[in-house]
Structure 1
Amino acid sequence: MAKQFGAMILMALWGSCGYAARSGLPASTVPDCIGVNIHFTGTEREQVDMIADAGFRFVRMDFHWASIEKKKGGYDFKPYDELVDSLATRGIRALFILDYGNPLYDDNLAPHTDEGRAAFARFAAAGAAHFKGKGVLWELWNEPNGGFWRPQANVEDYVKWAAAVYRALKKADPECTVLAPALAGWDMAFLDSAFKQGLLKATDVVSLHPYGSAKPEDAAILYAGTRELIAKYAKKGTNYPIVSGEWGYSSWENGVSLETQADFIARQFLSNMASGVRLSIWYDWRDDGLDPNENEHHFGTVYNDLKPKPAYTAVKTLTTELDGYSFASRISGDSPEDYLLLFRKGDSYRLAAWTVGEPHSLSLPIDVEQVEIVSRSGERTKADIKNGRIELKLTNSPQYVEPIGTSTRWAMEAAWNVEAGTVLTDSGLQVKVKSVVNGDLVPNATVSVSGAGVERASVKFNTQASAVSPDARPEHTF
């Protein structure tokens, strides 16, 4: 599935997705929808303050069964109480991962017997009751399609376990929000099978870990494919928000550079918001070690000694410049490789701009006399507007453009968006598109398609859908 979708990027995938809010998920506003994975409990005042100062508003952490239930029926939540209370002082919420085996049950393997599932359900219910009203989100395991579901991945066992745990969580706290399956990578076969066996009845939110995306923007294809599976299996009229629960890029010896990691963390958050993802959590907060040849040691936004990496500065710049803003629309540029994302806060607008291609200049129309441009690392410059256009130098690093004065043009751009969904068929990729201005359907729209082999020919249209073959034209108006 990943390879089939990966050949084609659809401009129409970007826009408002119209998914209804569910209790517990944050608003799709910076910085509320931005989080980071951690590996600590307790108060940890210095780390919590640094996390908050960067602008993160969620942390994701293992809620480890074996460390909490060391005697049957007894639960020690103290380290997690200290963590939740410490986070709350800085306005940060927790996403806890209900995970892993316990030597007291099922030989320390993933719960796979009635006794094991019942024991885990009691543990989860105790946790939900204990933290009720404290804004905790609950995720059902971590990457069960990989090595974390011991002894090996088993869709049927996972769904049975998830159903039992979901019922227990909702009985303990009917208002709690549950996420699943924390899917590792682009394993659409596992996701399809889990949904087919009823997983959507055991979760409120679909959580994905889009590892394997060569660049952050590629995950839009995974989200589109996931939404098609949701539409296929969900009860009619039921919507499931998507969360990016874990995903990062390591700056180890054979990984990305420190500067690319900084570009990618900002672009991941920005592009996820444009794809309608309700919460995005970067992996990882802190480098786990010092070995330059160990991949797992270098996913952090800060070094092992807590010294900030460029990625930390990139997040702080993003959350500062877009504080209180929400994604509004993607502005069309000269190339589908250019990302011009417009964000709105009331009557104020700001633009996040970068390219995934080669650096180049772009002339963009705007109706103010001056703008301020902020680099990914926070440097600020002012630029005068000449002949109603601004010359932007696009690179792989996001920059933020703030008009000095009111831009009517950007207000009009923000009012327009495309709502799109896709489904892969034997004859090609079917794209269902609606063009919307301030919530009203517009009969005419332009769809741009790019990708390997996209050059010319067959596009079929009707009032609701278009079937686009791999050799379709880059643009068509209908």
Structure 2
Amino acid sequence: MALRVALVTACAFAAFATTLAKDAAAAPGVRFGIQDDAWLEFGPGTLSQRVAELDRIGLEVVRVTLHWYRIERSPGRYDWRRSDRLLRALDARGLDPVVTLWGTPEWANDGAPNVPPRVGADFSSFARAAAARYPFVRHWTMWNEPNKAIWLKPVSARVYVSKILNPGHAGIKAANPRARVAGGVTAPRGGKGGIAPVDFIRGMDRAGARLDAYAHHPYPDYPGDTPFEGGCGHCKTISMSTLERLLREVDKAFPRASIWLTEYGYQSSPDPFGVSPETQAQFVSEAARRVFAAPRVEMLIHYLYRDEPDLERWQSGLETVDGEAKLALQATMIPFTQVTRAGTRPTVWGQVRPGTGGQSYVIQRRAGGSWVAVGGMRATSSRGYFGRTVSAAKGTQLRIWYPARRLASATLVVR
């Protein structure tokens, strides 16, 4: 185990150094975003204020679900009022919508929304109409977690490809050839009545799936899993800690496809299985570094801006249900994490997301009741990234100070 950890650390550092050097010349493709449809539509303040908040904290993409069964209640008759408000507000602020199409109307399947349409052409027509109405939307995902019975019944990669993905892909491309369409959108586990994502990817390949990107939701297998360690090494599940499994499977099935991670997060207390707010913030930062160094990953979308009030649901937000900022909000604005350490010389990584272009920042260490600079003011890359080796013993508390906005990262304790 010690040898494995050492090798993983060495490989991670090498990838980190290579990718950071690459960023100095050209920004890597990964962008960070959020999905919280309820908060976006009904949260406190006005829609423009909520969208401005997402821009303020440095996010670039926002995932929004369009419910086919609500928009096209009868064939060819569309109600775009909700999606007009949300998508045009995001576009006006310069935020990039990632639009998910889901939910079959009863007229198209004589069943519930998770039952596929009888005829794929019906979904293709809806996808084409949506893409025609929103030509500024460049990223589309077909369905949500079709490897789980709650979202697609029956669960079948062949049915998903023939009735949803390929018809949807054709419809989007007919209206906007430059748009990009993601398939899969798989959950990390199949669950009861479902299919593990590894098997679903292989089934999609056999069924002749057409896609520009493969989307996946790499939630942890267990609450204590970190973005780098944990998960099930011999299973066909795919979490953030087993991200290499996704990279391998997609590379074999769809070698030209990009990877979009369109839902991810860690639940924190008061969820009975949640981690502490400090650990949630740490994992948010580590996940950012994880995907920064991962080939072909173009986006990572955090699930929920605000916790849901029902403890049976999700407490993965950046705010509590009462609107109090969690440490994860700081970690979202300024992710900051340790890569490795040699004696009293830890190497750290981070990103300053608010603002555009390179930003000035200071690494600070805790000294008594104050924070003091370590190494003076430095500049990030054009995308806000930085990597440094500093002098700090194990147990030292470090943070990033961003003077332009008077913002601090969550505290990092050197391991």
Give the corresponding residue for 1:230: 250
Identity %: 22
- Alpha-carbon contact 1:246-1:280 (below 8 Å) kept: yes
- Alpha-carbon contact 2:116-2:152 (below 8 Å) kept: no
Give the corresponding residue for 1:108: 112
- Alpha-carbon contact 1:242-1:278 (below 8 Å) kept: yes
Where does the alignment leave 5 or more consecutive residues of structure 2 unmatched? 20-25, 190-196, 230-238, 377-388, 403-415
Q: Does 1:46 align with 2:57?
A: no
Shift of 1:182: 0.9
Query: Deviations 1:30-76 (Å, cap 9, x if unpaired)?
Result: xx711001114656233222222211111112111111112221111
- Alpha-carbon contact 1:110-1:151 (below 8 Å) kept: yes
Q: Distance in 1 between matches of 2:395 and 2:37?
A: 33
TM-score (norm 1): 0.62
Q: Does 1:274 align with 2:315?
A: no
Give the corresponding residue for 1:37: 35
- Alpha-carbon contact 2:126-2:171 (below 8 Å) kept: no
Q: Distance in 2 between matches of 1:63 and 1:197?
A: 26
Q: Distance in 1 between matches of 2:83 and 2:144?
A: 18
Corresponding pairs, count: 343
Shift of 1:194: 1.6
Q: Structure 2 matches for 1:121-140, cutoff 5 A?
A: 121-132=124-135, 134-140=136-142
Q: Distance in 2 between matches of 1:396 and 1:299?
A: 28
Give the corresponding residue for 1:216: 227
Bigger radius of gyration among the two: 1
Query: Deviations 1:62-96 (Å, cap 9, x if unpaired)?
Result: 11111111222111112111112222333211111
SS of 1:216 mapped into structure 2:
coil
Q: As a proportion of its length, which structure holds more strand? A: 1
Give the corresponding residue for 2:166: 163
- Alpha-carbon contact 2:115-2:153 (below 8 Å) kept: no
Shift of 1:395: 6.6
Query: Deviations 1:222-255 (Å, cap 9, x if unpaired)?
Result: 4322332233234xxx522211110111111221
Q: Structure 2 matches for 1:426-465, cutoff 5 A?
A: none
| Higher relative contact order structure (alpha carbons within 8 Å, sequence separation ≥ 6) | 1
Q: Once superposed, what is the RMSD of the aligned Cα atoms? A: 3.8
Q: Distance in 1 between matches of 2:214 and 2:27?
A: 16
Shift of 1:149: 3.2
Give the corresponding residue for 2:275: 256
Give the corresponding residue for 1:302: 319
Q: Distance in 1 between matches of 2:360 and 2:96?
A: 27
Shift of 1:206: 1.2
Give the corresponding residue for 1:411: none
- Alpha-carbon contact 2:334-2:351 (below 8 Å) kept: no
Q: Distance in 2 between matches of 1:397 and 1:283?
A: 28
Q: Which amino acid aligns with 1:310?
A: L
Q: Structure 2 matches for 1:157-196, cutoff 5 A?
A: 157-160=159-162, 161-185=164-188, 187-196=197-206
SS of 1:264 mapped into structure 2:
helix
Q: Mark the CA change 1:232 to 1:89 in structure 2 (over 3 Å): closer, same or farther.
A: closer
Give the corresponding residue for 1:60: 63
Q: Which amino acid aligns with 1:204?
A: D
Q: Which amino acid aligns with 2:50?
A: Q
Q: Distance in 1 between matches of 2:347 and 2:141?
A: 32
Q: As a proportion of its length, which structure holds more helix? A: 2
Give the corresponding residue for 2:410: none
Q: Which amino acid aligns with 1:141?
A: W
